Amino acid sequence: MEMVTLTIDGVRLEVPKGTTILEAARSANIKIPTLCYLKGVNEIGACRMCLVAVKGARNLQASCVYPVADGMEVRTNTPVVREARKVNLELILSNHERECLTCVRSENCELQALSKQLGVENIRFNGERKNYTVDDFSTSVVRDPNKCILCRRCVATCREVQGIGAINATGRGFSTIVEPIFEMNLADVNCINCGQCIEACPVGALREKDDTEKVWSALSNPELHVVVQTAPAVRVALGEEFGMPIGTRVTGKMVAALRRLGFDRVFDTDFAADLTIMEEGTELLGRLKNRGKLPLITSCSPGWIKYCEHNYPEFIENLSTCKSPHEMMGAIVKSYYAEKNNIDPAKIFVVSVMPCTAKKFEAARPELQATSYPDVDAVITTRELAKMIKQAGIDFVSLEDEEFDPTLGDSTGAGVIFGATGGVMEAALRTVSEIVTGKPLENLEIHEVRGMSGIKEVEVPLGDITVRAAVAHGTGNAKQLLDKVKSGEKEYHFIEIMGCPGGCITGGGQPIVPAQVQMEVDVRKARASAIYDEDRSLPVRKSHENESVKKVYREFLGEPNSEKAHELLHTHYTVRKKYRSK
């Protein structure tokens, strides 16, 4: 590897050729401010916050796109550099809705942090301001152009990472706006509600549809029996909202906090993940045996499902008919649990705490009403749960660990790994392999489907057949995989797709990590590691060995894929219109 030598603020560095000044400075712990920059996603030098002085250059240069050269001398903190950054920031602020105290991103806003860092106390450029209508028609994502700073991080994420392009920058100059095609709203285009745009946004221009008041109202209603369930990825991210390190497991504290909020029962979506494996694994074996439609594609991710409905309708028959785990849990709560506890399902209010904004859209789907009532009544994100805990004045960090309520709170390690890309595949193979061969797996950890490679493949012998399986995360990678299947280049029996890069651990409803931190910490790796640690810590790690799942089949469902199981736990999907961004 060819190396070059340069100095930054008098520090002599040796870095690989092709490295940008920003990256070189980071390697020496010299922090240059950024705003539009998002590592590996948006590196366009548009905001001009990362300006530096390069000896010999006539003008200041954007360090995020300027490559180093041998003998280069760089200054990052001259009076001219500081003033240029400050002027650029004030110009951005001059057309920004500065309602910081009431903004959802207050105290976690990159623009707010930069203003403090650069000492902006007054705006010298108070000229004309645009006043746009807020797009809140989506069940999942709210778009507020009045807070948009035109950094285009959301555009790059939607187009380059997710391969969708539901939003783009339109207009020119002062009239530029980030919006869907033909000035439509997000609810009416091919947005998949994944919320990755929210995670990318440095300010409050994109946020989830807030359902906390709906949940508070249910909790205060004495006529309602309010049940909550938590997805596996929530427990490895919630702590970040309370200052804990990225990837800290807070399962017990989370349960304790939910009880203090007033929920009547605290259940674990991991139980329903185990239930999903029983249903989906049986479905796979049935398709293999009866020459059904293959490859079978998992259906746990509502963002991926909507993407498929818009873009790959020819694969709808390949989708597993299984509902996602939290929807299965809702159906079981309003049938099995209601019957066992003599509660009218009309009086049961099910709340799902999810790492995913697309779950809000999913819960509103008319197909998901197995008991004539919505399977799930409200979905809140990890961020919304943290908001409720703070509103209640609960000292989260000091809470003692508590356990989930029994039966529907009992789960295995296979259930918890659903939170990371490859987890559904691994959990399914743990169970299907043992059902077919009658022998326990030598190693439960199937590392071929783990990790952050965009597409992963594995072959697993199952009796007389070797199952060819693939895993993709993020719809951009899903597109690559499905195109290969369509063309005949690849053939698989089983495919897992998650709508978000990294899977649920970095879903659109998880704590937002500033771009500067993402330059130093691999968030996906840290949270995934915590997921696998929880799996290893549990006494039972295979879904078919979950005694509470066996009990529900024995007492209520009969067997996997039974008529009753299909009535409650399975669904269907639909073809949706496709739009392209401008």
d(CA 346, CA 33): 53
Catalytic residue among 23, 43, 327, 362: 362
Pairing of strands 348-354, 141-143: unpaired
Q: Annotated catalytic, 367?
A: yes
Q: Annotated catalytic, 280?
A: yes
Q: Annotated catalytic, 300?
A: yes
Catalytic residue among 504, 542, 543, 581: 504
Catalytic residue among 299, 301, 320, 324: 320
Listed residue (399, 411, 250, 271) closest to 333, CA to CA: 271
Q: What are phi and psi of 177, to 5 degrees?
A: -145, 145
Q: Annotated catalytic, 99?
A: no
Q: Is 31 helix (H, G, I), strand (E, B) or coil?
A: coil
- Residue 414 in tokens: 């296979």
Q: Annotated catalytic, 151?
A: no
Against a cut of 0.75, is the pTM above it? yes
- Look up the CATH architecture of domain 130-206: 2-Layer Sandwich (3.30)
- Residue 576 in tokens: 């949706």
Contacts of 392 (CB under 8 A, 6+ apart): 260, 261
Q: Annotated catalytic, 402?
A: no
Residue 420 CB coordination number (10 Å) = 32
Query: Domain-by-domain residue ranges, the chain?
Result: 3-92, 130-206, 212-569
Catalytic residue among 300, 322, 356, 500: 300
d(CA 147, CA 97): 5
Residue 508 CB coordination number (10 Å) = 31
Q: Annotated catalytic, 442?
A: no
Q: What is the DSSP string of 77-108?
A: --HHHHHHHHHHHHHHHHTS---GGG-TTTTS
Instruction: End-to-end CA distance of the chain: give it in Å, rounded.
Output: 41
User: Tokens 């004030």, residue?
Assistant: 90
d(CA 468, CA 459): 5
Q: How many residues does the chain have?
A: 582
Catalytic residue among 43, 110, 241, 280: 280
The correct answer on CATH 3.40.50.1780 for the domain covering 212-569 is: yes
How far is residue 508 from each of residues 400, 466, 577, measured CA to CA in Å?
Answer: 28, 35, 23
Catalytic residue among 86, 90, 214, 367: 367
- Quick one: pLDDT at residue 577? 81
Catalytic residue among 179, 279, 283, 327: 283
* Topology (CATH) of 3-92: Ubiquitin-like (UB roll) (3.10.20)
Q: Annotated catalytic, 489?
A: no
- 58, 89 contact by CB (below 8 A): no
Sign (positive or negative) of CA dihedral 76, 77, 80, 81: positive
Q: What are phi and psi of 338, to 5 degrees?
A: -60, -45
Contacts of 345 (CB under 8 A, 6+ apart): 334, 335, 338, 371, 373
Q: Is 199 helix (H, G, I), strand (E, B) or coil?
A: helix
**What are the pLDDT tens digits along the chain (582 aa)?**
899 999 999 999 999 999 999 999 999 999 999 999 999 999 999 999 999 999 999 999 999 999 999 999 999 999 999 999 999 999 999 989 988 999 999 999 999 999 999 999 888 888 788 899 999 999 999 999 999 999 999 999 999 999 999 999 999 988 999 999 989 999 999 999 999 999 999 999 999 999 999 999 999 999 999 999 999 999 999 999 999 999 999 999 999 999 999 999 999 999 999 999 999 999 999 999 999 999 999 999 999 999 999 999 999 999 999 999 999 999 999 999 999 999 999 999 999 999 999 999 999 999 999 999 999 999 999 999 999 999 999 999 999 999 999 999 999 999 999 999 999 999 999 999 999 988 888 889 999 999 999 999 999 988 888 999 999 999 999 999 999 999 999 999 999 999 999 999 999 999 999 999 999 999 999 999 999 999 999 999 999 999 999 999 999 999 999 999 999 999 999 999 876 544
